[in-house]
Amino acid sequence: MSIPSPATDRSVVERTLSVLGAFDTGNVRLTVSEISRRSGIPVATAYRIVAKLLSWGALERTEQNRYTIGLRLWEIALLAPRHSDLRGAAVPHMFELRAVTRSAVLLSVREGDEGICLESVSGTARPLHRSWSRGHRFPLHATACGRVLLAAADDITWEEIDTLGLGPHTPRTVTDPGVLRGLVEQGRRQGFAVCDGELLDGVVEVAAPLYDADGTAVGAVGLVADRDRVAHVHDLTRPLLAAAGRISRSLALRTRAEGQHHSSTDNQRSRT
Protein backbone atom coordinates (compact mmCIF):
# COMPACT_ATOMS: atom_id res chain seq x y z
CA MET A 1 0.00 0.00 0.00
CA SER A 2 1.54 3.29 -1.07
CA ILE A 3 1.68 6.25 1.29
CA PRO A 4 1.11 9.72 -0.17
CA SER A 5 4.09 12.00 0.00
CA PRO A 6 3.90 15.02 2.33
CA ALA A 7 3.72 17.32 -0.71
CA THR A 8 0.74 15.38 -2.12
CA ASP A 9 -0.96 15.31 1.27
CA ARG A 10 -0.61 19.09 1.64
CA SER A 11 -1.99 19.53 -1.88
CA VAL A 12 -5.13 17.54 -1.02
CA VAL A 13 -5.67 19.60 2.12
CA GLU A 14 -5.14 22.86 0.27
CA ARG A 15 -7.57 21.87 -2.47
CA THR A 16 -10.20 20.81 0.05
CA LEU A 17 -9.86 24.13 1.86
CA SER A 18 -10.12 25.92 -1.49
CA VAL A 19 -13.44 24.17 -2.15
CA LEU A 20 -14.79 25.31 1.22
CA GLY A 21 -13.35 28.77 0.64
CA ALA A 22 -15.40 29.10 -2.55
CA PHE A 23 -18.43 29.81 -0.37
CA ASP A 24 -19.02 33.25 1.12
CA THR A 25 -21.95 35.47 2.08
CA GLY A 26 -22.60 36.32 -1.57
CA ASN A 27 -22.24 32.72 -2.76
CA VAL A 28 -23.96 30.42 -0.28
CA ARG A 29 -25.33 27.97 -2.89
CA LEU A 30 -22.96 26.80 -5.61
CA THR A 31 -22.88 24.15 -8.32
CA VAL A 32 -19.77 22.03 -8.80
CA SER A 33 -18.91 24.09 -11.88
CA GLU A 34 -19.14 27.30 -9.86
CA ILE A 35 -17.04 25.79 -7.07
CA SER A 36 -14.47 24.76 -9.68
CA ARG A 37 -14.34 28.25 -11.16
CA ARG A 38 -14.16 30.08 -7.84
CA SER A 39 -11.54 27.73 -6.35
CA GLY A 40 -9.41 27.31 -9.48
CA ILE A 41 -9.69 23.52 -9.23
CA PRO A 42 -10.56 21.31 -12.24
CA VAL A 43 -14.20 20.24 -12.34
CA ALA A 44 -13.43 16.52 -11.98
CA THR A 45 -11.25 17.15 -8.91
CA ALA A 46 -13.82 19.55 -7.41
CA TYR A 47 -16.53 16.92 -7.92
CA ARG A 48 -14.52 14.26 -6.02
CA ILE A 49 -13.79 16.62 -3.13
CA VAL A 50 -17.42 17.78 -2.98
CA ALA A 51 -18.58 14.15 -2.83
CA LYS A 52 -16.26 13.44 0.11
CA LEU A 53 -17.33 16.60 1.94
CA LEU A 54 -20.97 15.75 1.28
CA SER A 55 -20.66 12.26 2.76
CA TRP A 56 -18.95 13.68 5.86
CA GLY A 57 -21.53 16.44 6.36
CA ALA A 58 -19.33 19.44 5.63
CA LEU A 59 -21.50 20.19 2.59
CA GLU A 60 -25.20 19.66 1.90
CA ARG A 61 -26.98 19.27 -1.46
CA THR A 62 -29.91 21.56 -2.22
CA GLU A 63 -32.21 21.96 -5.20
CA GLN A 64 -30.85 22.16 -8.77
CA ASN A 65 -27.64 20.30 -7.83
CA ARG A 66 -26.31 23.13 -5.71
CA TYR A 67 -24.34 22.76 -2.51
CA THR A 68 -24.19 24.71 0.75
CA ILE A 69 -22.02 24.55 3.85
CA GLY A 70 -23.28 21.71 6.05
CA LEU A 71 -24.28 21.77 9.70
CA ARG A 72 -21.42 19.42 10.61
CA LEU A 73 -18.90 22.11 9.74
CA TRP A 74 -20.84 24.73 11.71
CA GLU A 75 -21.05 22.42 14.75
CA ILE A 76 -17.30 21.95 14.73
CA ALA A 77 -16.71 25.69 14.38
CA LEU A 78 -18.83 26.26 17.48
CA LEU A 79 -16.32 24.19 19.49
CA ALA A 80 -13.69 26.93 19.15
CA PRO A 81 -13.09 27.83 22.85
CA ARG A 82 -13.07 31.61 22.50
CA HIS A 83 -16.33 31.49 20.56
CA SER A 84 -18.14 28.90 22.67
CA ASP A 85 -17.30 30.67 25.93
CA LEU A 86 -18.36 34.01 24.50
CA ARG A 87 -21.64 32.65 23.13
CA GLY A 88 -22.40 30.85 26.37
CA ALA A 89 -21.85 34.01 28.38
CA ALA A 90 -23.73 36.29 26.00
CA VAL A 91 -26.85 34.50 24.76
CA PRO A 92 -28.98 34.68 27.96
CA HIS A 93 -28.29 38.41 28.27
CA MET A 94 -28.97 38.94 24.57
CA PHE A 95 -32.52 37.66 25.02
CA GLU A 96 -32.98 39.92 28.04
CA LEU A 97 -31.71 42.89 26.05
CA ARG A 98 -34.09 42.10 23.19
CA ALA A 99 -37.01 41.96 25.66
CA VAL A 100 -36.11 45.41 27.04
CA THR A 101 -35.38 47.18 23.74
CA ARG A 102 -37.49 45.14 21.26
CA SER A 103 -34.50 45.48 18.92
CA ALA A 104 -32.33 42.89 17.22
CA VAL A 105 -29.26 41.91 19.25
CA LEU A 106 -25.95 40.83 17.72
CA LEU A 107 -22.83 39.13 19.05
CA SER A 108 -19.74 39.47 16.87
CA VAL A 109 -15.98 39.05 16.70
CA ARG A 110 -13.30 40.19 14.26
CA GLU A 111 -11.60 37.91 11.76
CA GLY A 112 -8.92 39.82 9.87
CA ASP A 113 -10.42 42.84 8.14
CA GLU A 114 -14.03 41.62 8.54
CA GLY A 115 -16.46 41.00 11.36
CA ILE A 116 -18.31 37.72 11.91
CA CYS A 117 -21.75 37.51 13.49
CA LEU A 118 -21.56 34.67 16.01
CA GLU A 119 -25.14 34.96 17.19
CA SER A 120 -28.21 37.12 16.58
CA VAL A 121 -31.60 37.51 18.22
CA SER A 122 -34.26 39.07 15.99
CA GLY A 123 -36.22 42.10 17.12
CA THR A 124 -39.66 43.36 16.16
CA ALA A 125 -38.47 45.61 13.31
CA ARG A 126 -37.82 44.64 9.69
CA PRO A 127 -35.77 41.48 8.92
CA LEU A 128 -32.06 41.77 9.55
CA HIS A 129 -29.57 42.57 6.81
CA ARG A 130 -27.83 39.29 5.97
CA SER A 131 -24.58 40.67 7.44
CA TRP A 132 -26.34 40.68 10.82
CA SER A 133 -27.35 37.02 10.57
CA ARG A 134 -25.50 34.26 12.39
CA GLY A 135 -22.42 33.04 10.57
CA HIS A 136 -22.23 35.93 8.11
CA ARG A 137 -19.41 38.41 7.67
CA PHE A 138 -19.84 42.16 7.69
CA PRO A 139 -17.72 45.24 6.88
CA LEU A 140 -15.98 46.72 9.89
CA HIS A 141 -16.12 50.31 8.72
CA ALA A 142 -19.87 50.48 8.05
CA THR A 143 -21.19 48.94 11.28
CA ALA A 144 -21.16 49.88 14.96
CA CYS A 145 -19.99 46.39 15.96
CA GLY A 146 -17.21 46.70 13.40
CA ARG A 147 -16.00 50.00 14.82
CA VAL A 148 -15.98 48.56 18.33
CA LEU A 149 -13.90 45.65 17.05
CA LEU A 150 -11.58 48.03 15.19
CA ALA A 151 -10.84 49.82 18.46
CA ALA A 152 -8.88 46.72 19.52
CA ALA A 153 -7.35 46.00 16.10
CA ASP A 154 -3.60 46.06 15.42
CA ASP A 155 -1.72 48.15 12.87
CA ILE A 156 -1.67 45.30 10.34
CA THR A 157 -5.48 45.24 10.24
CA TRP A 158 -5.60 48.99 9.70
CA GLU A 159 -3.04 48.70 6.89
CA GLU A 160 -5.18 46.03 5.20
CA ILE A 161 -8.24 48.25 5.47
CA ASP A 162 -6.35 51.24 4.06
CA THR A 163 -5.10 49.09 1.17
CA LEU A 164 -8.47 47.56 0.33
CA GLY A 165 -10.34 50.85 0.71
CA LEU A 166 -13.67 51.60 2.35
CA GLY A 167 -16.50 50.73 0.00
CA PRO A 168 -19.83 52.60 0.24
CA HIS A 169 -22.97 50.64 1.13
CA THR A 170 -25.31 53.63 1.37
CA PRO A 171 -24.83 57.38 0.81
CA ARG A 172 -24.14 57.67 4.57
CA THR A 173 -21.25 55.18 4.66
CA VAL A 174 -17.98 56.67 5.93
CA THR A 175 -15.35 55.98 3.27
CA ASP A 176 -12.55 58.29 4.45
CA PRO A 177 -9.92 56.38 6.51
CA GLY A 178 -9.08 59.47 8.58
CA VAL A 179 -12.72 60.06 9.48
CA LEU A 180 -13.14 56.37 10.34
CA ARG A 181 -10.14 56.45 12.69
CA GLY A 182 -11.63 59.47 14.43
CA LEU A 183 -14.98 57.73 14.90
CA VAL A 184 -13.30 54.57 16.20
CA GLU A 185 -11.31 56.63 18.72
CA GLN A 186 -14.46 58.47 19.78
CA GLY A 187 -16.19 55.14 20.34
CA ARG A 188 -13.25 53.91 22.40
CA ARG A 189 -13.45 56.97 24.66
CA GLN A 190 -17.21 56.88 25.20
CA GLY A 191 -17.49 53.10 25.47
CA PHE A 192 -19.84 52.53 22.53
CA ALA A 193 -20.10 53.15 18.79
CA VAL A 194 -23.01 54.34 16.66
CA CYS A 195 -23.79 53.85 12.95
CA ASP A 196 -26.82 55.49 11.38
CA GLY A 197 -27.85 54.11 8.00
CA GLU A 198 -24.31 53.22 6.87
CA LEU A 199 -24.93 49.56 6.01
CA LEU A 200 -28.69 49.72 5.48
CA ASP A 201 -30.81 52.84 4.93
CA GLY A 202 -33.04 53.77 7.83
CA VAL A 203 -31.34 51.48 10.35
CA VAL A 204 -29.49 52.59 13.49
CA GLU A 205 -26.92 50.33 15.13
CA VAL A 206 -25.17 50.83 18.48
CA ALA A 207 -22.52 48.50 19.89
CA ALA A 208 -20.31 48.07 22.94
CA PRO A 209 -17.17 46.01 23.60
CA LEU A 210 -17.04 42.78 25.60
CA TYR A 211 -14.06 41.95 27.82
CA ASP A 212 -12.58 38.73 29.20
CA ALA A 213 -11.12 38.15 32.67
CA ASP A 214 -7.86 39.89 31.67
CA GLY A 215 -9.67 43.00 30.49
CA THR A 216 -8.99 42.19 26.82
CA ALA A 217 -11.69 43.19 24.32
CA VAL A 218 -12.79 39.91 22.71
CA GLY A 219 -16.00 40.82 20.93
CA ALA A 220 -18.89 43.23 20.56
CA VAL A 221 -22.59 43.21 21.36
CA GLY A 222 -24.85 45.41 19.25
CA LEU A 223 -28.44 46.57 18.87
CA VAL A 224 -30.09 47.15 15.50
CA ALA A 225 -33.32 49.17 15.19
CA ASP A 226 -35.32 51.14 12.64
CA ARG A 227 -34.44 54.83 12.88
CA ASP A 228 -38.09 55.86 13.18
CA ARG A 229 -38.42 53.73 16.34
CA VAL A 230 -35.49 55.39 18.11
CA ALA A 231 -36.35 58.69 19.81
CA HIS A 232 -32.76 59.13 21.03
CA VAL A 233 -29.69 56.93 20.70
CA HIS A 234 -29.26 56.92 24.49
CA ASP A 235 -32.52 54.99 24.72
CA LEU A 236 -30.49 52.13 23.24
CA THR A 237 -27.06 52.77 24.74
CA ARG A 238 -28.14 52.65 28.38
CA PRO A 239 -29.56 49.09 28.29
CA LEU A 240 -26.82 48.05 25.86
CA LEU A 241 -23.98 49.11 28.17
CA ALA A 242 -25.65 47.44 31.14
CA ALA A 243 -25.96 44.17 29.18
CA ALA A 244 -22.36 44.42 27.93
CA GLY A 245 -21.19 44.71 31.54
CA ARG A 246 -23.18 41.63 32.56
CA ILE A 247 -21.86 39.62 29.61
CA SER A 248 -18.26 40.61 30.36
CA ARG A 249 -18.64 39.59 34.01
CA SER A 250 -20.20 36.27 33.00
CA LEU A 251 -17.40 35.65 30.51
CA ALA A 252 -14.77 36.45 33.15
CA LEU A 253 -16.35 33.96 35.56
CA ARG A 254 -16.40 31.29 32.86
CA THR A 255 -12.77 31.76 31.86
CA ARG A 256 -11.60 31.82 35.49
CA ALA A 257 -13.56 28.65 36.28
CA GLU A 258 -12.13 26.95 33.19
CA GLY A 259 -8.62 28.00 34.16
CA GLN A 260 -9.08 26.62 37.67
CA HIS A 261 -10.44 23.36 36.25
CA HIS A 262 -7.44 22.92 33.95
CA SER A 263 -5.06 23.76 36.82
CA SER A 264 -6.73 21.19 39.07
CA THR A 265 -6.62 18.54 36.34
CA ASP A 266 -2.94 19.21 35.67
CA ASN A 267 -2.15 18.91 39.40
CA GLN A 268 -3.97 15.57 39.61
CA ARG A 269 -2.07 14.26 36.61
CA SER A 270 1.18 15.44 38.12
CA ARG A 271 0.49 13.60 41.41
CA THR A 272 -0.49 10.48 39.47
SS (H, E, C) the chain: CCCCCHHHHHHHHHHHHHHHHCCECCECCECHHHHHHHHCCCHHHHHHHHHHHHHHCCEEECHHHCEEECHHHHHHHCCCHHHHHHHHHHHHHHHHHHHHHCCEEEEEEEECCEEEEEEEECCCCCCCCHHHCCCCEEECCCCHHHHHHHCCCCHHHHHHHHHHCCCCCCCCCCCCHHHHHHHHHHHHHHCCEEEECCCCCCEEEEEEEEECCCCCEEEEEEEEEEHHHCCCCHHHHHHHHHHHHHHHHHHHHHHHHHHHHHHHHHHHHHHC
Sign of the CA dihedral 37, 40, 44, 46? negative
In contact, 138 and 132? CB cutoff 8 Å: yes
Looking at residue 271, its pLDDT comes to 55
Rounded CA gap, 30 and 15, in Å?
A: 16
Looking at residue 160, its pLDDT comes to 83
In contact, 41 and 49? CB cutoff 8 Å: yes
Rounded CA gap, 162 and 160, in Å?
A: 5
* pTM, two decimal places: 0.70
pLDDT in tens, 212-224: 988 999 999 999 9
Looking at residue 67, its pLDDT comes to 95
Query: Measuring CA to CA, which residue among 209, 270, 214, 269 is closest to residue 245?
Result: 209
Rounded CA gap, 200 and 267, in Å?
A: 53
Residues (pLDDT < 70) of the chain are 1-10, 25, 78, 80-82, 124-131, 257-272
Taking each helix axis from N to C end, the angle separating 6-21 and 43-56, rounded to the nearest 10 degrees, works out to: 80
pLDDT in tens, 192-242: 999 999 998 989 999 999 999 889 999 999 999 888 777 777 889 999 999
Looking at residue 133, its pLDDT comes to 74
